[in-house]
Amino acid sequence: MKLKKTALIGATLVSLLTSGYAMAQEQFIGLPSYRVGAYASGGSGIYGGWIDYMTLINERDGGVNGVKLTWEECETEYNNARGVECYERLKGKGPTGNSVFQPLSTGITMSVLEKVPQDKIPMVTIGYGRTDAADGRVFPWVFPMISTYWTQASAIINYIGSREGGMENLKGKKIVQLYLDVAYGKEPHSIFDKLAEKYGFEIVKIPVANPGNEQQAQWLQIRQQKPDYVILWGWGVMNPTALRTAAKTGFSRDRIIGVWWSGAEEDTVPAGDAAKGYTAAGFNPAGTDFGVIKDIQKVVYGANKGNMEDKSRVGSVYYNRGVVHGIITVEAIRTAQEKFGKGQPLTGEQMRWGFENLDIDAARLKALGADGFMPDLKITCADHEGSGKLKFQQWDGAKWNVVTDWIEGDREMVRGLIEESAEAYAKEKGLTVRDCTKES
Amino acid sequence: MLYREAGQFKASYQEDSQIFPIRQDRIGIAVVLAFFFVAVPLFASQYWLQAILIPVLIFSLAAMGLNILTGYAGQLSLGSAAFMAVGAFGAYNFILRVDGMPFLLAIVLGGLCAALVGVAFGLPSLRIKGFYLAVATLAAQFFIVWALVKFPWFSNNSSSGVISTQQVEILGFAFSTPESKYLLTLAIVTVLALLAKNLVRSSTGRTWMAVRDMDVAAEVIGIRPMRAKLSAFAVSSFYCGVAGALYAYTYLGTVEPEGFNLDLSFKILFMVIIGGAGSIMGSFLGAAFIVLLPIFLNVTVHSTIGSWLPASVGSNLELIVFGGLIIFFLIVEPHGLARLWQLGKEKLRLWPFPH
C-alpha cells in the first residue's frame, strides 16, 4: 500500500515536472490579427507572412535555440475596442505571458500605449503608430521600428530630389500631398512644411474624405495646380481610385509617389493599366527571389503547413512585410536569449531588452537570407526607430520592380522634431525622461 | 409562486410611486447590485474587468442615451458616437485647461457640452421626422469628427488629433487599477441608470412618449413638441457624452476622433434594437449582447474548430454566426431582449397557476 502510494506520488511529481519543463520551452507570441473587414487584405497578408516565418523557424531550426515559438490569433476587425480586448486576452497566455504586441493598427496602438508599461509587454509598431514614440527615453516600451511616417515623408522628398538631380533642384517645384483626411494623413504635415521651407519647394495639401472612393474634385484641383509631383498618402480603396482618376484627368502616373501603405499589389492590380509607371515607397520589396522566402516555400509550403490560402500571394508586398515582422521578432528573441540564457523562454521585460539591443547588420541579414529584403536595423536606448531606410518600387503593370537602393530620410531634422514632441508628452504626463548613458 | 405580489399593499403615495413597486424586484436589484459591486471586483480577473465589464457598462450607458431619444421620444439618431466624442474631448479639455478641475465635475461638464451640441443638431427634428431625421443626424456624426481633427485646439495641438487622457483622481485617490476603474464606472452608470429609469416615468418621460406615439395628438393635449424633442436630444446627448468621457478615461486612456466613427453609432443603434427600444434594462442587455457575443464566438471558434480551419474562414464564420443570431433574435422577438424578459416575468407572476 505504502509502496504504491509513494510510486504514485513519485509518478505524479515526475509528470508534473516534465510537463512544466516541456511548457517552459515555449515562447508565446500573441497575434492581434484582422482577417475580416475593409483592411482584411493587409491583415491576412502580413499576419500570414509572419506566421509562415515562425513556422519556418520551428520546422527548420527547431525553434530559437530550442525554444519553440507558439502563437494564437485574436480577431480585432481593425477595431480599437476589440483590439484592447485581444490585448488583455493574450497578455497572460503562454508560460511567460505575451512576449510582444504588434496590432498593425495605429488606433489600437494608441489605445494600449499606456497599458504596455504597466503590463511590461513591449509593443512593436513597424511602419505605423505614434511617431514620437521613436524617442526611447520617453517611451521605453514602444518601438516604431524601421521608419516612422516623418522619416518616410523626408525620404520621399529625398527621392524626388534624387530624381531631379539634386536637392537644390527642388527649389520652385510644386509638390501635392494627396492624403486621406484622418489622423494618419495629417501626421506628416508639419514635417512637409519644414522641408518645403528648407528646400524652397511649394507643398499643397489636398485632403480626400474617408474612405476615398470619390476623388474627381481633388484631381481637377491637381490639374489646375499643375504640380511636379503628387505624393499619395492613402490606405485601402483610396489608392486604386487615385490612380484611376489620375489616368482619367491625364496626370502622369510616373510622377505619383505612394507611401508604403499605398504600395502593394492590392493597390495597383484593381487600378489595372492606370497603375503602370506608379512608384511607391516600402521598407521591404516584393518578390520571391530572397533566400528567406525560398526557404519558406520549400520548408513550410513544401510540408503543406503554410498559412496563406492563396499561395500566389507569397512574395507579395504585404506578405513580405509580414516576414519582416517575423524576422524582427525572432531576432529580438535571439538577442535577449544571448543575455538572459539560451534555450529559455523570455519574459516581457527580457523581450524589451532584446528589442532595445537589436542589431541586424548586413552580415546578419545575409545569414538570414534577407539581403536586400529589409534594411539593416540597429535599435538603441534613445533611438527606437532604427535605420529609417526605404526602397522605391515601380509597378510595371504586372509586378513591382525595385528602382532605387536604400534611401534615408533627413534623420537629424526628424529626430529633433521627435524629441521635441516626446518631451512635450513627458511633461504633460509627468514622466521622467530616461538617461540613456546609464542604461546597459 | 416566488414572484407573487399578492399581499403587497401600498398604503401611501410614496410607496405607490417608487421605482420598483414589486418587492421581489427590489430584492432582485439589490442582489444584482451587491453582486456587481462586491463579488465581481473580488473575484473577477483583470481581463474580465478591463476588457469585458468596463466596455459593457460604458456601451450600456451610451445605448441608454440613444434609447431615451429613439425608444422613448421616437427620434431616430445616427450621431451617438459623435456625441460620445464631444463628451470625451470636452472632459479632456476641462481637466487640461482648468486647474484643479475635479474629475466628476469634468465628466458632467463634458456631458453638458454634448447636450448643447445635441440640442443644436436636434433642431431639424422640429421639421423632419423618421428616416429623414436620421439622415440629418448623420451630419452631426461627420461634422463633429471632422471638427475635432480640423481644429488642433481640441486635442491640445496633437498633430494627429489623438488625445491621451490624464490620470483619474477623486479627492486625492488615484483610479489606476482595473478594479477601481471598474467600480468608478459602475457607480456612475448605476446612478445615471436609476436617474433615467425615474426620468422616463416622470412627466418629462411621458411627454416624450406622447410625442413618440403621435406628435399631433400630443400637441393637441397641450404638450409642446419643441420642448419635448429638444429635451430628449439634450438628455440623450448628455448620456452619450458621459459615456464618451468614461470611454476615454476609464477604458481606453488614449482616444482619437476616428475611433468615434459611424460604425460605432450603428453599433449603439443595434444595441438599442436588439436590447429593446423603450427600455432601460434593454440597453444593458443589448450592450452585453453586441459586445460579448463576438468575443464569445471568437474564443469558441478558436478553442474548438479553429485549429483545422484557415484563420480567415474562422473569422468570417464568426461574423456569419453573429449576423445570423441577430436575425434569429429579431424574428423570434422583434421588440428586443427586454421584451423576452418582460414576457418571462409575466409568466413567472402567474406561475404555477396560469389562467
In a domain, A375, yes or no: yes
For residue B159, list chain A residues with Cβ-Cβ distance below 8 A: 131, 186-187, 189-190, 421
In a domain, A439, yes or no: no
Number of Cβ atoms within 10 Å of the Cβ of A200? 13
**Rounded-to-integer distance, Cα A82 and Cα B69, Å:** 27
Q: Which of A41, A50, A85, A179 to mutate to test the interface with B (most CBs of B within 10 A)?
A: A85
A106/A69: higher pLDDT = A69
Residue A99: which of A402, A345, A439 has the closest Cα?
A345
Per-residue model confidence as pLDDT tens digits over B139-157: 999 999 989 988 889 988 8
B329/A368: higher pLDDT = A368
* pLDDT for A338: 93
Calculate what percentage of chain A has a pLDDT beyond 70: 94
Q: Which SS3 state, helix, strand or coil, does residue A135 take?
A: strand
- How, if at all, do strands A389-395 and A407-408 pair? antiparallel
| Average pLDDT value for residue range B206-218 | 94
Same domain, residue pair A264 and A218: yes
Calculate what percentage of chain A has a pLDDT beyond 90: 69
Q: Which of B254, B265, B304 to mutate to test the interface with A (most CBs of A within 10 A)?
A: B254
Check B164 against A429: CB less than 8 A apart.
Answer: yes
Residue B2's pLDDT band (cuts 50, 70, 90)? confident
For residue A47, list chain B residues with Cβ-Cβ distance below 8 A: 311
Amino acid at B199: L
**Rounded-to-integer distance, Cα A36 and Cα A78, Å:** 9
**Measured between CB atoms, which of A33, A89, A187 is closest to B51?**
A89
- Residues A188 and A233 sit within 8 Å (Cβ to Cβ): yes
Per-residue model confidence as pLDDT tens digits over A304-323: 889 898 899 999 999 999 99
What's the gap between Cα B184 and its chain centre? 16
Residue A324: which of A265, A362, A372 has the closest Cα?
A372
In a domain, A416, yes or no: no
Check A44 against B162: CB less than 8 A apart.
Answer: no
ipTM: 0.85
Residue A182's pLDDT band (cuts 50, 70, 90)? confident
Number of Cβ atoms within 10 Å of the Cβ of A394? 18
Q: Is A166 exposed, middle or buried (0-12, 13-18, 19+ CB in 10 A)?
A: exposed
H or E segment to which residue A257 belongs? strand A256-258
Least confident of A68-72, A158-162, A311-315, B14-18: B14-18
**Rounded-to-integer distance, Cα B167 and Cα A308, Å:** 43
Quote the minimal CA–CA distance from A359 to chain B in Å: 31
Q: Which SS3 state, helix, strand or coil, does residue A393 take?
A: strand
Q: Which domains does chain B have, with CATH numbers?
A: 44-350 (1.10.3470)
| pLDDT for residue B203 is more than 90 | yes
- Residues A288 and A297 sit within 8 Å (Cβ to Cβ): yes
**Measured between CB atoms, which of A85, A110, A183 is closest to B295?**
A85
Quote the minimal CA–CA distance from A303 to chain B in Å: 15
| Average pLDDT value for residue range A196-212 | 91
Same domain, residue pair A175 and A118: no
* pLDDT for A20: 43
**Rounded-to-integer distance, Cα B340 and Cα B325, Å:** 15
Same domain, residue pair A158 and A278: yes
**Rounded-to-integer distance, Cα A322 and Cα A329, Å:** 11
In a domain, A100, yes or no: yes
A352/A438: higher pLDDT = A352
Q: Which residue of A has its CA nearest to B49?
A: A88
* pLDDT for B313: 84
Check B149 against A182: CB less than 8 A apart.
Answer: yes
Check B258 against A44: CB less than 8 A apart.
Answer: no
- Residues B337 and B285 sit within 8 Å (Cβ to Cβ): yes
Q: Which residue of B has its CA nearest to A87?
A: B51
For residue B62, list chain A residues with Cβ-Cβ distance below 8 A: none
Same domain, residue pair A119 and A62: yes
Check A84 against B319: CB less than 8 A apart.
Answer: no
Quote the minimal CA–CA distance from B255 to chain A in Å: 6
| CB contact B12 to A (< 8 Å) | no
Quote the minimal CA–CA distance from B343 to chain A in Å: 33
Per-residue model confidence as pLDDT tens digits over B242-301: 999 999 999 988 888 888 989 899 999 999 999 999 999 999 999 999 999 989 988 888
Residue finishing a domain among A388, A407, A428: A388
Number of Cβ atoms within 10 Å of the Cβ of A70? 18
Same domain, residue pair A295 and A363: yes
| Average pLDDT value for residue range B42-68 | 94
**Rounded-to-integer distance, Cα A287 and Cα A272, Å:** 19
Check A79 against B164: CB less than 8 A apart.
Answer: no
| CB contact B139 to A (< 8 Å) | no
**Measured between CB atoms, which of B46, B162, B294 is closest to A183?**
B162
Measured between alpha carbons, how far is residue A282 from residues A156, A256, A286, B24, B240 in Å? 10, 15, 9, 65, 41
Measured between alpha carbons, how far is residue A64 from residues A134, A143, A307 in Å? 27, 22, 20
For residue B138, list chain A residues with Cβ-Cβ distance below 8 A: none
Count of domains in chain A?
2
Check B256 against A110: CB less than 8 A apart.
Answer: yes
Residue B10's pLDDT band (cuts 50, 70, 90)? confident
Quote the minimal CA–CA distance from B219 to chain A in Å: 42
- Residues A144 and A133 sit within 8 Å (Cβ to Cβ): yes
- Angle among Cα A104, A433, A139 to the nearest 5 degrees reads 5
Check B161 against A114: CB less than 8 A apart.
Answer: no
**Rounded-to-integer distance, Cα B45 and Cα B61, Å:** 23
CA atoms within 13 A on the CB side of B316: 11
Among all chains, which residue has been given the C-alpha cell 492563396?
Answer: A310
Quote the minimal CA–CA distance from B51 to chain A in Å: 5
**Rounded-to-integer distance, Cα A12 and Cα A115, Å:** 39
**Rounded-to-integer distance, Cα A225 and Cα A397, Å:** 28
**Measured between CB atoms, which of A114, A425, A428 is closest to B253?**
A114
Q: Which residue of B has its CA nearest to A187?
A: B160
For residue B253, list chain A residues with Cβ-Cβ distance below 8 A: 111, 113-115
Residue A230: which of A210, A192, A265, A203 has the closest Cα?
A203
| pLDDT for residue A1 is more than 70 | no
In a domain, A193, yes or no: yes
Same domain, residue pair A253 and A326: no
CA atoms within 13 A on the CB side of A78: 17
Check B302 against A115: CB less than 8 A apart.
Answer: no
Contacts A–B by Cβ distance under 8 A:
108
Same domain, residue pair A277 and A165: yes
Q: Which SS3 state, helix, strand or coil, does residue A375 take?
A: coil
| CB contact B308 to A (< 8 Å) | no
Same domain, residue pair A213 and A315: no
φ, ψ at A28 (rounded to 5°): -90, 135
Check B254 against A110: CB less than 8 A apart.
Answer: yes
Same domain, residue pair A273 and A154: yes
* pLDDT for B162: 82
In a domain, A234, yes or no: yes
Burial B300-317 (b: 16+ CB within 10 A, else e): ebbeeebeeeebbebbbb
Least confident of A15-19, A148-152, B27-31, B337-341: A15-19
Three-state DSSP string of chain B: CCCCCCCCCCCCHHHHCCCCCCHHHHHHHHHHHHHHHHHHHHHCCHHHHHHHHHHHHHHHHHHHHHHHHHHHCCCCCCCHHHHHHHHHHHHHHHHHHCCCCCHHHHHHHHHHHHHHHHHHHHHHHHCCCHHHHHHHHHHHHHHHHHHHHHCHHHHCCCCCCCEECCCCEECCEECCCHHHHHHHHHHHHHHHHHHHHHHCCCHHHHHHHHHHHCHHHHHHCCCCHHHHHHHHHHHHHHHHHHHHHHHHHHHHCEECHHHCCHHHHHHHHHHHHHHCCCCHHHHHHHHHHHHHHHHHHHHHHHHCCHHHCCHHHHHHHHHHHHHHHHHHHHHHCCCCHHHHHHHHHHHHHHCCCCC
A287/B156: higher pLDDT = A287
Least confident of A133-142, B4-13, B39-48, B52-61: B4-13
What's the gap between Cα B107 and its chain centre? 15
Residue finishing a domain among A388, A406, A435: A388
**Rounded-to-integer distance, Cα A51 and Cα A329, Å:** 11
**Measured between CB atoms, which of A36, A186, A421 is closest to B316?**
A36
What's the gap between Cα B112 and its chain centre? 16
For residue A235, list chain B residues with Cβ-Cβ distance below 8 A: none
| pLDDT for residue A8 is more than 70 | no
| Average pLDDT value for residue range B212-223 | 93
| Average pLDDT value for residue range B168-188 | 92
| Average pLDDT value for residue range A58-71 | 93
Q: Which SS3 state, helix, strand or coil, does residue A383 take?
A: strand
- Residues A113 and A44 sit within 8 Å (Cβ to Cβ): no
| Average pLDDT value for residue range B85-105 | 94
- Residues B68 and B196 sit within 8 Å (Cβ to Cβ): yes
* pLDDT for B345: 86
Check A114 against B255: CB less than 8 A apart.
Answer: no
| Average pLDDT value for residue range A93-112 | 90
| CB contact B311 to A (< 8 Å) | yes
For residue B259, list chain A residues with Cβ-Cβ distance below 8 A: 80, 107, 111
* pLDDT for A9: 54
Residue A213's pLDDT band (cuts 50, 70, 90)? confident
Q: Residue A240 belongs to a domain with what CATH number?
A: 3.40.50.2300
What nine digits make up the cell of A151?
A: 522619416
Check A187 against B316: CB less than 8 A apart.
Answer: no
Check A35 against B312: CB less than 8 A apart.
Answer: yes
| Average pLDDT value for residue range A45-62 | 94
| Average pLDDT value for residue range A178-188 | 86
Check B47 against A428: CB less than 8 A apart.
Answer: no
Q: Is A188 exposed, middle or buried (0-12, 13-18, 19+ CB in 10 A)?
A: buried
| pLDDT for residue B64 is more than 90 | yes
Quote the minimal CA–CA distance from A183 to chain B in Å: 4
Check A35 against B162: CB less than 8 A apart.
Answer: no
Same domain, residue pair A292 and A240: no
| pLDDT for residue B111 is more than 70 | yes
Amino acid at A405: D
What nine digits make up the cell of B333?
A: 422577438
- How, if at all, do strands B254-255 and B163-164 pair? antiparallel
| Average pLDDT value for residue range B304-329 | 84
φ, ψ at B231 (rounded to 5°): -70, -35
Same domain, residue pair A259 and A330: no
**Rounded-to-integer distance, Cα B62 and Cα B112, Å:** 15
* Rounded-to-10 torsion of CA A229, A234, A239, A242: -50
* pLDDT for B20: 86
Q: Which residue of B has its CA nearest to A109?
A: B254
Same domain, residue pair A309 and A229: no
Residue finishing a domain among A282, A306, A331: A282
**Strand runs (DSSP E) across A42-84, as ranges?**
68-73
φ, ψ at A98 (rounded to 5°): -70, 135
Residues for chain B: how many in total?
355
Check B161 against A82: CB less than 8 A apart.
Answer: no
* pLDDT for A431: 87
Q: Which SS3 state, helix, strand or coil, does residue A231 take?
A: strand
Per-residue model confidence as pLDDT tens digits over A16-33: 444 444 445 899 999 999
H or E segment to which residue A230 belongs? strand A229-233
Q: Which residue of B has its CA nearest to A209?
A: B146
**Rounded-to-integer distance, Cα A201 and Cα A168, Å:** 10
Chain B (44-103) residues lying within 8 Å, Cβ to Cβ, of chain A: 46-47, 50-52, 55
Quote the minimal CA–CA distance from A347 to chain B in Å: 19
Residue A182 belongs to domain spanning:
150-282
Check B298 against A425: CB less than 8 A apart.
Answer: no
What nine digits make up the cell of A327?
A: 524576422
For residue B256, list chain A residues with Cβ-Cβ distance below 8 A: 106-107, 110, 183
In a domain, A432, yes or no: no
In a domain, A406, yes or no: no
Quote the minimal CA–CA distance from A269 to chain B in Å: 22
Average per-residue pLDDT for chain A: 89
Quote the minimal CA–CA distance from B167 to chain A in Å: 8
Q: Which residue of A has its CA nearest to B97?
A: A428
